[in-house]
Structure 1
Amino acid sequence: MSETWFVFPNVGGVNSKNCRGGLLNRWEKAKRYKFNFVELPAHFVRKTETEFLGLSAGEFLTKEAISKLYLKDDERPRDIRYIFHTEPALAPKCYLKWYSEPWVNRFIEMNIDIAKYIGLPPSVIEIHPGKKPNTNQYIAESAIKLFNNFKDEFEVKPTILIENRTGHVISKGIQMKEFWEYLITNYPSYQKYIGFVVDFRTMCTPVSKDYSNNVNSHFINNIEMIPDESIKGCHIHNLHMKAPTIRDDVPWLSVFNKIINVKNDLILNPELFSLG
Structure 2
Amino acid sequence: MRQPRGTFRNGLLSRFEEAAPFGCRYLEIPANGIRSRTEEKQTGIGVCEILNSYGIEKLYAPAETVPDGLEYILHTDPSFPQKGADGLTHPAADLRWHDAEWLQQFCDIQIAISEYLGAPASIIEIHPGSNRSVSMKDIARAMQNIQQTYGDRFGGIAPQIVLENRNGSIIENGRQLRDFWMAVQQHAPTLAKQSGIVLDISALYTTANRRNDSFEASLTAVPIAGIRGLHVHTRHQAPSADDTIPWETVFEKVREIPHDFFINPELHHKNQVGDTIAFCERYLGEE
The TM-score, its normalising length taken from structure 1, stands at 0.90
Alignment of 1:245-256 (within 5 A): 245-256=240-251
How far residue 181 of structure 1 moved from its aligned partner, in angstroms, is: 1.0
CA distance in 1 between partners of 2:80 and 2:123 (Å): 21
How far residue 186 of structure 1 moved from its aligned partner, in angstroms, is: 2.4
> Which is further off, 221-230 or 181-190?
181-190
User: Partner residue of 2:281?
Assistant: none
CA distance in 1 between partners of 2:221 and 2:40 (Å): 41
User: Partner residue of 2:186?
Assistant: 185
DSSP 3-state at the match of 2:115: helix
Number of residue pairs matched by the alignment = 259
* Equivalent position to 2:218, from 194, 216, 222: 222
User: Partner residue of 2:105?
Assistant: 106
| Residue type at the aligned position of 2:259 | N
* Equivalent position to 1:38, from 10, 27, 36: 27
Structure 1 residue 22 corresponds to structure 2 residue 11: yes
**CA RMSD, 1 decimal:** 1.3
- Which runs of 5 or more residues in structure 2 are unaligned? 82-90, 272-287
Q: Is 2:26–2:73's contact at 8 Å kept on the other side of the alignment?
A: yes
CA distance in 2 between partners of 1:98 and 1:186 (Å): 14
Superposition misfits of 4+ residues, deviation over 6 angstroms: none
Deviation digits for residues 205-230 of structure 1 (CA, Å, limit 9, x no counterpart)? 1211222xxx6xx2111111111110
How far residue 127 of structure 1 moved from its aligned partner, in angstroms, is: 0.3
DSSP 3-state at the match of 1:191: helix
- Which runs of 5 or more residues in structure 1 are unaligned? 1-10
Alignment of 1:141-220 (within 5 A): 141-154=141-154, 155-211=156-212, 218-220=214-216
How far residue 194 of structure 1 moved from its aligned partner, in angstroms, is: 2.2
Q: Is 2:65–2:118's contact at 8 Å kept on the other side of the alignment?
A: no
Larger RCO (CA within 8 A; separation ≥ 6): 1
The TM-score, its normalising length taken from structure 2, stands at 0.87
User: Partner residue of 1:261?
Assistant: 256
CA distance in 1 between partners of 2:4 and 2:61 (Å): 9
User: Partner residue of 2:133?
Assistant: 133
Q: Is 2:202–2:233's contact at 8 Å kept on the other side of the alignment?
A: yes
* Equivalent position to 1:87, from 77, 88, 102: 77
Structure 1 residue 52 corresponds to structure 2 residue 52: no
Q: Is 1:164–1:172's contact at 8 Å kept on the other side of the alignment?
A: yes
